[in-house]
Amino acid sequence: MDWEDFLEERRYRERLEETMQEIDTGNPEDGEPFAMDVRELLDHVGDRRLYEVLKDTEHQTLEILLLSTWGYSIKEIANIMGLPKDTVYTKRKILRKKLKNFKF
């Protein structure tokens, strides 16, 4: 791996981490909710490949993602959706793995 490949990979990982932190904190840059429902969440996706990844994701996982963007904690999401906390953690982990393998 040469230096340019290394730097490109590092920039990609930094962007991915920033995106995931924004999703986790529920604080979009403009201060407004990112989306009001799952359909609107998918409508905001500008990259066709990312849209296809999310479109094929289980609806319940997308609801967890949406609630995360609104700033709810794992415990709050579990209570709202009537799921065990471990289930919410697992679904988020699976989604993170899908997105980690996605190249922007």
Condensed to tens digits (0 to 9), the pLDDT of residues 38-62 reads 888 888 888 888 888 888 889 999 9
Domain boundaries, the chain: 3-100
* 49: Cβ contacts below 8 Å, ≥ 6 apart: 102
End-to-end CA distance of the chain: 19
Contact 47, 93 (CB under 8 A): no
**Amino acid, res. 80:** I
Question: With the CA atoms of 21, 99, 33 and 91 taken in that order, what torsion angle do they form, in degrees rounded to the nearest 10?
Answer: -90
**Per-residue pLDDT, 84:** 93
Q: For residue 43, what is the enclosing H or E element?
A: helix 38-43
**Per-residue pLDDT, 61:** 93
**Per-residue pLDDT, 89:** 93
**Per-residue pLDDT, 90:** 94
Ranges of the chain whose pLDDT falls below 50: 28-29
